[in-house]
Structure 1
Amino acid sequence: MSNYKEENICMIHHSQIVAINMDLNSDCQLRRYCSKCLLEKTYDGTIYINSEVQEHIQKIKEEYLEKKAYFLKHNVGTIESLQNAIQNIKVTFSYSLDKIFENLSTEKIRLQNQYFNIEETLNGVDLNNFHYFKLQSNENLFQIESFKSLIKASIDQIKNNESLQFCNQQIENLQEDDEVLTFTRGFNSQESNVIATPSLKILCQMHKKQIIAFDMNINRAKENRMACIQCIEEIPNSYTSLKTVQDKWKKFEEFKKNKYQQILEQNKENKDQILEQLKIISEAHNEMNLQITQYLNDYCQSLNQEMQQIFSQMGKNWAICQQKEIFDNIEKLITPTCNQEFSKNISEHYANEEKFVNLNVFDSIKKIRETLKESFYQISKMIKINSNLQIKSKEIQICEKLQSIRPPFSMNSKQVELSLSIESPRKLQVTKDVVQMSLKIKKFKLNLVPKSVSLSLQITLPSKLKIDKQQIQISMVSKQQKIRFENIIEGQKVTQDQNCYALIFDHTNNLLVAGCGQNIQTFKFNSGSFQSQSVFGQHYSNVTALCFIKFNQFISGDAKGQLQFWKEESNSWKQYQKLSSEHFEQINQILYSKKFNQIITCSNDKNITVLENKNQQVNIWACAQTISSHQSNVCSISLNDSETTLISSGSDKQLQIYSRQINFNLIQTIKVEDIIYRLQFIEDSSFCAQIQTGIHLNFYNFNKNQEQYILNQTAEVQNQKSCSQGFPIGICKKHSMILCKHGTYINVLKKMNNQIYRTEQSINFDTMYLYGALTSDGNYLVTWDYRSKQFQVRQLIVN
C-alpha cells in the first residue's frame, strides 16, 4: 500500500499526481506530473489527464481481449466441429476416436480456461502498473502445435477412411496469434503537434488563461464549470478534459439523432400498417358484396325460371290430359285440406332452397366479420391512448368479445347485427364511455328482386377520460410477417412415374427419402436442388410410410403391413430387420420416440403398435404394446413434445387420446362429424386435426379445469369435398407455421399476433392424390402429385 501511495506523489514537488506523459521514450520516473508540473509542461504535447489515460489503457485491453477471444472462440468452434464429425464415425473406429475425442475435450477446456485466465489477468492491469506488464503467447503456440501433432498422429492411424478427410481440414483451421500485450501512447500525434493541449478560445475569468477542462460535478454552478491550467492546480482531480467532454457531447448528439430517426421510421411504419388494414377491410367488403350479389342474382334467376315453367303448365286443357293425370287432379281437389297442404309443401320447399342461399350469404358475411376483427385488432395495437385519460386501476387489460349472431335472411324481414365490443375487465373501472365498435347490416327482405346490403362501421371515442394513477400507453407493434411458398425449379421438373405415397427428410435436411412404388429412392438435397443417389427396396407392395429413427437409420412400411428397417453402411443402405406379423393391412404412419426409444405405427387393421429395442447391441425391434381401441382404420397418430401423450384418429370418426404410464392408456375419446385423415401436436398440450369434409382446421387445447382436451378455435381452409390418406401435417415453430393437405389443396397457416391461426396461402394441385414433406426449418416443401407425376420444390418466402 505504501508503494502505491509513493507512485501517486510527484517526486519533484511532492504533490499528488494528476496527469501522465504517454511518450514511452521519456524517462519512466519523469512521466507522472502534479499540477505544478502541468504549469511547466502545458504545451509539451504529451500530457493527458488520468481519466483520458485510463480510457486509453482500457481500450488497449479491450482490443487485446477481443483479438484473443476471436482466436480462442475460433479454435473452440473448430474443435466442436471436430467433435461432431468424430462422434458420427465413432461406431467404426471406437477405440482410436474415443482417444481423439478425449484429447479434443481436454484441449477445449484448456482453451476456455485460458480465455478466462487472460480476462482475469487483464482486470488487474491499470494506469499504475501497465508499463510493467507484458504477455507472451510462445507457450500457447507451443501447446497448439503439440496438440495438432498429437491429433494428426492419431488420425493418421485410420487415414485410409475417406470420412476423416474433413477432420484433417478442420485441424488445419486451428490457429493462435502471436499478439503481445503492450501499452503504447496511441494518441493522435498529428493532432498533438497542431494543438498541444486542447483548449477553447475562452479565457478563465479568474486567471485569464485558456479553458482546457470542465468540472462535471452536478452540484457545481453552471458559470463555474470551466477551468484553465491554474484552476486545475488549485483543485486537482476534479476536472474532466475538454476532449473527453466534447466526445461525450458527440455521443449524446448521435444518440438523439438515432432516437429521432426511430420515431420517424416507427411513425411511417404505423401509418403504412393502418392504411394496409383499411385497404384490406375495403377489399374484403367489395369482394363479399359482389359475391353476395351474385348468390342472390343466381337464386332469383333460378326461381324465376322455375316459376315461369310452372306458370306455363297452368290452364292446360283437360281434353288432352292423360287419364292418370286427371284422376290425380280430382284426388287433390276432393281433399278438404288441399290448399293448406299445398301451402305447407311449397313453403317448406322454398324455405329449404332459401336456407341454402342464406347460408352462402352468411358465410360471406362471416368472412367480412373475421377480416374486420383481425384488422381492428391490428389497428388497436398501434393507437396510443391520450395521456389525459384517467383510469382508477393500474393494470389495464382489453377484452375482445364477439356478440352472438342470429341466422340471417329469413322469409320475414329481420335485422342482422354484428358487433365488436371492447369491455372493461374486472380490475378496470372507466369513469365514462367504453370504446365500442359496431358493424350493422341494415334491414334486408328477401324477395324476387334482391336489395342491396349496406355495411357501416362506427367507432365512438370518449371526448376525455381521466387517469388517477398511471398513464397508459399502447406500444407500437412490428408489422405482421407474411409467408408463402414459391416454386423454385420451373423448367427443371423431376419426373417420377411410379406412385410416391411417402417422402421424408433426415435430421440435417440434406437427405430426402421417397417411397416410389415398391422401391425406395434417396436424393441429395441442397438449397432446393435434387441429386439422385440410390434406388433399393425389398417390399412387395407400395411403400406408404417412412420414418427416420437415427441419422443413418430409417423405417419403411408398405400397403400389406410389412415394416423394414434400413441402415447406411459403406455409402449404401442395407436392410437389417423385417417385421411382417405386427400389421396385416396398410401402414399409414410411423413415429419415433427418441426419449423412450420406441417406434409407434398405425394401420388400416384398426391397431396401433408400439415397438421397443430392449437390447440395443443386437438392434432388434419387437412389439411391446398393441392398442386396439379404434373400430376402423387408424389414419394418423402424433406424439407431444414431452412424448407423454399420444393422439390418434380413425375412419370411425373418433379422436382418441392416450397418456403414457408404463404403457399408453386411453384417457379421452372425442367424436367428430367425419373421418380425420391427419392430425398433429403443435405444442405440448395443443394439437390440430383436419376433418375430411370440413372447411376448417380444428384446434384443441388441454383444459386444466376439465382435465381434458376441448375444441378452442378453428381456421378456415380450402377444400374440394373429398380427400385421401397420407402426407402428415407439417409444423414449423420457427415461423409459427402449419402446413396441411386438405383435398386438392395444401393450406399454409400462420399464427397471428392475436394467437389465432389464419390461412396465408392455398396451393391447388387439382388432385387429392398429393404427397410431400417439409424440411424441419420450414424453408423448403417437396411434393409429388398424381396429375403431374413430378417432384416439385417450393421455397418459403417471408416478408
Structure 2
Amino acid sequence: MITFNPQLQFNTFDYQLLEQNSIKEPEWCFSFAFNKDSTILAVGCQSYIKLFEFTNERVSLNQILMNTDFVRSIYFMKKSQNLISGGEDSSILVWQKNQDHQWFIYQKLLGHSKPIKHIIMNQNEDLIISCSSDKTIKFWVKQNEWVCSQTITNHTQQVLSLSINESQNKLISCSEDKSILVMELSSITNMWLVKQRIFLQEQGRRLCFIGDNQFTFQPKNQDILYLFQWNSTSQQFYQEMEIPVDSSLDTNYYFPQQFINQKQLLINKNGNYINLLRRKVDGTFIKEKAIKFNTNQIFGTMNDSGDYLVTWDQEQKQLQFRKFSEI
C-alpha cells in the first residue's frame, strides 16, 4: 500500500556515477528491466537482448538473446522470472529458461500491427497489457498459453505509455492524440471499460500511477509535470497542480516514469534531464534533483528499491550505473 509515514524523514540524496561499471555499448539501447532481486539486468540493444549479471556492484555480460526486431519494451516477471519483450515488428515474445539456464522463446504473441511501445503486467502476473503504434491497447491473459482477451481502440493516434494502479483495477494510457484514457476493470464482466478521457493541450509520453488516487503526467517539451487527483464525488480524475521540472526539447519515446514507494521518489525523464521528485507528506511532489545529459536521447530504468539507476544515452554510448546515496 502506498502511504506516507509522517515519522519517515528523508535526507538530501544523490545518484553517484559508478564509473568503473560503465560499459561501452555502441548500439542503441531503448529498454531496460531488472529482475526481482536486481541480480540480472536485461537490456534491449537494437535487435538483441543482453543479459548482465549485477552482483556486488559488478557488471558482467551473461548471455545475448536474438530478438525478432528492435526491442522497444522489456518486462522482467517477478514470480516466474520469465522475460517479456516487445519489438518494432509488432510482436511480443515470452522468454523462459531451460534446465541448462539458457533462454528460449516460449511463446510469440501476435495481434498488434505496428511497433510495441510499452508492456506492463499486473501484480499477479496473469495479465500482460501492451500498447502500440497501431493506436490500440491489448490485454493478454494466461490460459494454457497467453491469449488476447480484449482490445481497447479509443485512442486515435499511437499509444505511448501505460500504468496500472495499486489496487490493479484502474489503468491509464497516454497517446499522441493528446488525451489520457482512464480505464476500470469491471468486477462483473472482468472486462476493462473506458471511464474517462482527459483531453490535453499537448501530447505526452510518460505517466505513472501513485497509489490509487493520484497519477503524474509529463507533457512534451514542457517544464512542468501535471499531478492528477481522484475525486470521489465525481468519480473522475482532475488536474490538481503543475510541478516545476527541468526540461528541454524531447524527441524520443520510451523510458517510462517510475515511482519508488520506499523512497517516495518519482523518476521522470524530460528532454536532456532525468528529474527526481520527492513525494511530500501532503501528497504533492517537489523536484529534488535533475541529472543533465548532453542529449535528449536518454533511456534507462531504476531497480525496484531505487538504489540503482541505469542509463544509456546517445552522447556517451555507454551503460552507466548510478547508486543512490544520502548526503
TM-score range, shorter chain: over 0.9
SS at match of 1:781: strand
Looking at structure 2, the residues matched to 623 and 492 of structure 1 have their Cα atoms a distance apart, in angstroms, of 40
Aligned pairs for 1:702-741 (under 5 A) are: 702-741=230-269
Pair 1:629 & 2:159 matched: no
Using the TM superposition, give the Cα deviation of residue 722 of structure 1 relative to its aligned residue in structure 2, in angstroms.
2.5
Pair 1:668 & 2:222 matched: no
Q: Residues 246-304 of structure 1, C-alpha deviation per residue, up to 9 Å, x if partnerless?
A: xxxxxxxxxxxxxxxxxxxxxxxxxxxxxxxxxxxxxxxxxxxxxxxxxxxxxxxxxxx
Amino acid at match of 1:516: C
Q: Which residue of 2 aligns with 1:781?
A: 309
SS at match of 1:665: strand
Q: Is the Cα–Cα contact under 8 Å of residues 528 and 780 in structure 1 kept in the other structure?
A: no
Q: Is the Cα–Cα contact under 8 Å of residues 528 and 793 in structure 1 kept in the other structure?
A: no
Tell me: CA distance 1:646–1:755, structure 2 relative to 1, closer, same or farther (3 Å).
closer
Q: Is the Cα–Cα contact under 8 Å of residues 718 and 747 in structure 1 kept in the other structure?
A: yes
Amino acid at match of 1:750: R
Using the TM superposition, give the Cα deviation of residue 483 of structure 1 relative to its aligned residue in structure 2, in angstroms.
2.0
CA RMSD of aligned residues (A): 1.6
Using the TM superposition, give the Cα deviation of residue 715 of structure 1 relative to its aligned residue in structure 2, in angstroms.
1.5
Tell me: CA distance 1:796–1:533, structure 2 relative to 1, closer, same or farther (3 Å).
same
Q: Which residue of 2 aligns with 1:564?
A: 93
Q: Which residue of 2 aligns with 1:156?
A: none
Using the TM superposition, give the Cα deviation of residue 548 of structure 1 relative to its aligned residue in structure 2, in angstroms.
2.0
Using the TM superposition, give the Cα deviation of residue 638 of structure 1 relative to its aligned residue in structure 2, in angstroms.
0.6
Using the TM superposition, give the Cα deviation of residue 632 of structure 1 relative to its aligned residue in structure 2, in angstroms.
0.1
Aligned pair partner of 2:270 in 742, 757, 768: 742
Looking at structure 2, the residues matched to 712 and 573 of structure 1 have their Cα atoms a distance apart, in angstroms, of 45
Aligned pair partner of 1:590 in 96, 115, 119: 119
Amino acid at match of 1:688: T
Looking at structure 2, the residues matched to 750 and 641 of structure 1 have their Cα atoms a distance apart, in angstroms, of 19
Select the structure that is richer in strand. Answer: 2
Q: Which residue of 2 aligns with 1:253?
A: none
Looking at structure 1, the residues matched to 249 and 297 of structure 2 have their Cα atoms a distance apart, in angstroms, of 14
Amino acid at match of 2:62: Q
Looking at structure 2, the residues matched to 723 and 627 of structure 1 have their Cα atoms a distance apart, in angstroms, of 26
Identity value in percent: 27
Q: Which residue of 2 aligns with 1:534?
A: 63
Q: Which residue of 2 aligns with 1:643?
A: 168
Q: Which residue of 1 aligns with 2:219?
A: 691
Aligned pairs for 1:263-278 (under 5 A) are: none
Aligned pair partner of 1:545 in 57, 73, 77: 73
Looking at structure 1, the residues matched to 210 and 306 of structure 2 have their Cα atoms a distance apart, in angstroms, of 14
Amino acid at match of 2:207: L
Pair 1:502 & 2:31 matched: yes
Looking at structure 2, the residues matched to 666 and 523 of structure 1 have their Cα atoms a distance apart, in angstroms, of 39
Q: Is the Cα–Cα contact under 8 Å of residues 506 and 551 in structure 1 kept in the other structure?
A: no
SS at match of 2:289: strand
Q: Is the Cα–Cα contact under 8 Å of residues 507 and 551 in structure 1 kept in the other structure?
A: no
Tell me: CA distance 1:493–1:596, structure 2 relative to 1, closer, same or farther (3 Å).
closer
Larger of the two Rg values belongs to structure: 1
Q: Is the Cα–Cα contact under 8 Å of residues 496 and 789 in structure 1 kept in the other structure?
A: yes
Using the TM superposition, give the Cα deviation of residue 592 of structure 1 relative to its aligned residue in structure 2, in angstroms.
1.1
Using the TM superposition, give the Cα deviation of residue 502 of structure 1 relative to its aligned residue in structure 2, in angstroms.
0.3
Amino acid at match of 2:91: Q
Aligned pairs for 1:52-71 (under 5 A) are: none
Looking at structure 1, the residues matched to 171 and 312 of structure 2 have their Cα atoms a distance apart, in angstroms, of 29
Looking at structure 2, the residues matched to 628 and 478 of structure 1 have their Cα atoms a distance apart, in angstroms, of 43
Using the TM superposition, give the Cα deviation of residue 750 of structure 1 relative to its aligned residue in structure 2, in angstroms.
0.7
With CA pairs under 8 Å and 6+ residues apart, which has the higher RCO, 1 or 2?
2
Amino acid at match of 2:243: A
SS at match of 1:728: coil
Select the structure that is richer in helix. Answer: 1
Q: Residues 151-170 of structure 1, C-alpha deviation per residue, up to 9 Å, x if partnerless?
A: xxxxxxxxxxxxxxxxxxxx
Looking at structure 2, the residues matched to 624 and 596 of structure 1 have their Cα atoms a distance apart, in angstroms, of 15
Looking at structure 2, the residues matched to 527 and 744 of structure 1 have their Cα atoms a distance apart, in angstroms, of 30
Q: Residues 304-332 of structure 1, C-alpha deviation per residue, up to 9 Å, x if partnerless?
A: xxxxxxxxxxxxxxxxxxxxxxxxxxxxx
Aligned pair partner of 1:579 in 109, 114, 129: 109
Amino acid at match of 1:640: N
Q: Which residue of 1 aligns with 2:4?
A: none
Using the TM superposition, give the Cα deviation of residue 641 of structure 1 relative to its aligned residue in structure 2, in angstroms.
1.0
Q: Is the Cα–Cα contact under 8 Å of residues 258 and 268 in structure 2 kept in the other structure?
A: yes
Q: Residues 215-237 of structure 1, C-alpha deviation per residue, up to 9 Å, x if partnerless?
A: xxxxxxxxxxxxxxxxxxxxxxx
Looking at structure 1, the residues matched to 72 and 8 of structure 2 have their Cα atoms a distance apart, in angstroms, of 43
Using the TM superposition, give the Cα deviation of residue 579 of structure 1 relative to its aligned residue in structure 2, in angstroms.
2.3
Using the TM superposition, give the Cα deviation of residue 686 of structure 1 relative to its aligned residue in structure 2, in angstroms.
1.1
Looking at structure 1, the residues matched to 212 and 280 of structure 2 have their Cα atoms a distance apart, in angstroms, of 19
Looking at structure 2, the residues matched to 551 and 761 of structure 1 have their Cα atoms a distance apart, in angstroms, of 35
Using the TM superposition, give the Cα deviation of residue 612 of structure 1 relative to its aligned residue in structure 2, in angstroms.
1.1
Q: Is the Cα–Cα contact under 8 Å of residues 634 and 651 in structure 1 kept in the other structure?
A: yes
Aligned pairs for 1:485-524 (under 5 A) are: 485-488=15-18, 490-524=19-53
Using the TM superposition, give the Cα deviation of residue 764 of structure 1 relative to its aligned residue in structure 2, in angstroms.
1.1
Looking at structure 1, the residues matched to 325 and 44 of structure 2 have their Cα atoms a distance apart, in angstroms, of 28
Looking at structure 1, the residues matched to 152 and 197 of structure 2 have their Cα atoms a distance apart, in angstroms, of 14
Looking at structure 2, the residues matched to 733 and 492 of structure 1 have their Cα atoms a distance apart, in angstroms, of 26
Tell me: CA distance 1:483–1:753, structure 2 relative to 1, closer, same or farther (3 Å).
farther
SS at match of 1:734: helix
Amino acid at match of 1:571: H
My pick for the range that moved more, 544-553 or 778-787, is 544-553
Looking at structure 1, the residues matched to 11 and 308 of structure 2 have their Cα atoms a distance apart, in angstroms, of 18
Looking at structure 1, the residues matched to 45 and 125 of structure 2 have their Cα atoms a distance apart, in angstroms, of 31
Pair 1:658 & 2:187 matched: no
TM-score (norm 1): 0.39
Aligned pairs for 1:443-482 (under 5 A) are: 481-482=11-12
